[in-house]
Amino acid sequence: MSVMVNAMSDAMKYAGRALGVAAMVWGGGATAQELKPVTVAAGLAQPWAVAFLPDGRMLVTEKAGALRIVTADGRISAALEGLPAVDAVGQCGLLDVVLDPQFASNQRIFFTFAEPAEGGVKGNSTAVGRARLVSDKLVDVKTIFVQRPKVASQAHCGSRIAFDRDGLLHVGLGDRFSRKEDAQNPSNHLGKTIRIDADGKAPAGNPFLATPGAAPELWSLGHRNIQGLAFHPVTGELWETEHGPQGGDEINVVERGRNYGWPLVTYGVNYGTATAIGEPGPKPGFEQPLRFWVPVSVAPSGLAFVTSDRYPGWKGSLVMGTLRGQSLFRFTLDGRKIAAESKLDTGIGERIRDVRQGPDGWLYLLTDGKEGRLVRLETK
């Protein structure tokens, strides 16, 4: 009991500090009242990710297993054929999609999806697929990586892909909820980030290549349910959002070989009972989140760095969508420190699943629902 009380006391202490940051108000720049949501496309079924094609069109994934092309004027294509089988159950399905940095020359895209187990066995795991988009058709479709092991779970499939400066893929992988202890086990891919090349292989420099029994693809461990990944445009650091349980949502900078604590170190508690899961940090050997939310979760989702001049005073900021919070957060940064934050009223009033900055410099948001929307966030 004393462990639980101490954990809750520490969590509330840090919560007060976090709320103090949240209460900061920015002076100058675009305010929440100056934002104008413009619906680009409507009627998307639980859209999960958007990627921008060079010709101004966009690729959008729908969780049930459809990959569609959306034109700048909002026309939505039929589902592209050729995707591998997708296990669309619960939180799992067709998830992220990104373009290869060399898409103009190789037409390659990469996507994550829940791959079903074979032979009538219940279970799935998050996989990474690759294809070429040629004349609006998918060709050379191949699954290049599969999370191991497969788990009979409908939860924590959530994943994101981000390319680093070397053209390598970093992929966030959930702990599958029922297997949270495996987030600390380097022999599997549950609750980890991985770094792979375009063929799904572990490149030189991965931190666990020489560790006997460890999965060679691992980049970091101790994660719960990763929902956002974005590389800092100046430093090249990988920033990440993940869901905690009841409280304990986090923003982290993900570094090579580091352990982010779950479920041994967390500010979240068990659903319903509010009993301690691990213990709050700091604790030697585990990384502290840059920002966490207690006691109420906001359910963070997609991340993006603002590099354009579309929003006065925002350049260099980090923006983050939320599902439960149905809001967009903006963080002003001082190096790795979050110097101030603001919860923006976008006028959307829906769960925000993905946030990306488009080639035109505007922010694009995907709302999560049976009638999801692709929204461009402009200023009045």
Catalytic residues: 156
Distance of CA 141 to the CA centre of its chain: 23
The answer to whether 115 and 87 are in contact (CB under 8 A) is: yes
Is the dihedral angle over the CA atoms 331, 314, 23, 34 positive or is it negative? negative
Q: How far is CA 44 from CA 20, 96, 156, 210, 374, in A?
A: 38, 15, 22, 45, 8
C-alpha to C-alpha distance for 372 and 362, rounded to whole angstroms: 19
Length of the chain (residues): 380
Written as one letter, the residue type at 366 is L
Strands 66-70 and 192-196: unpaired
The answer to whether 139 and 107 are in contact (CB under 8 A) is: no
C-alpha to C-alpha distance for 232 and 229, rounded to whole angstroms: 10
The answer to whether 76 and 107 are in contact (CB under 8 A) is: no
CB atoms within 10 A of CB 234: 10
